[in-house]
Amino acid sequence: MFLPKILILEENDLAPLTVASIEQNCPEFSYKIIQNTGSRVGSALANTDEISLVVQSGVALFLKDGDLPLEDTLRKYHIAVSKYNVFSTHTRLCSTYEAIAETRETINMVDLSVFMVTPERWSTRVETDRGVLNDVKKLFMPRYMNHKTDVLFRYNCLGARDAFTYGMLGKKSAVLNYVPSIPSGEANVIESYAYNFDRLLPFTGGLGKKDTDRIEYLAELTASRIRKVRDGIFDVEEDYLGGV
């Protein structure tokens, strides 16, 4: 099994959540907490000389065999990333971003809160993330590698069906990235359908009371609004697929 080092970028008070998720779900992985010195990519490269998974503190990991790209594949690329806008390549939903003014600057952006980096392909020191990926080879990760928050859910641009479908994907995603939602501790109905806040509950032991209370409240929103239906359908589908 390919076991890259995990680097946790400590950018908030949620690092204990990420650490707990690693120790409970994927204890065979080694990890190191590092600081962001002005560039996420540069900070990662300064702290590793081997292929590494880099995550912002507060991201929860559920890594298992087969979740990560193959080592030989990663060695062909400088970095593996995901799109900043979750549905930017979705044939039906991508045009929805055009209705939101603030996405005009983010439509072509990538998300550097979760990425994999191959140090051997980088020959120069990286000081800033601005434009750093323009001239490097990028591998784009599937959605389950970064099940994240998205502006379309925040502004209720998508219906309950799309949110529910996305939430079902989060039931078995390798990475849950809901960090932007935790500081407010609030979620609208569509967000509570789309995000598996309840999957964060086992990892709150080392957090401060405010962050713990916020996550518990978000988890309760998901539980009261959709969890029973979501989990029931998920279990039926898993049983069906398991029997095929």
Location of structure tokens 């490269």? 45
Assign residue 174 a region (left: φ > 0; alpha: ψ between -120 and 50; beta: otherwise).
alpha
Contact status, residue 62 vs residue 21, Cβ threshold 8 Å = yes
Residue whose entry in the numeric block shows the structure tokens 């392909």? 121
pLDDT digits (tens, 9 = 90+) for 174-213: 999 999 999 999 999 999 999 999 999 999 999 999 999 9
High-pLDDT (> 70) share of the chain, %: 97
According to the model, what pLDDT value does residue 244 have?
A: 38
- Give the count of domains, the chain: 1
Pull the structure tokens for residue 73: 């594949």
**Structural domain containing residue 221:** 5-242
CB neighbour burial string for 187-204, b if at least 16 within 10 angstroms, e if fewer: beebbbbbbbbbbbeebb
The CATH number of whichever domain residue 232 belongs to comes to: 3.90.550
The Cα–Cα gap between 81 and 38 comes to: 19
> Tell me: the pLDDT tens digits for 105-139?
777 899 999 999 999 999 989 999 999 999 999 99
H/E run at residue 113? strand 110-117
Q: What is the mean pLDDT of residues 31-37?
A: 97
pLDDT at position 230 is 92
Average per-residue pLDDT in the chain? 94
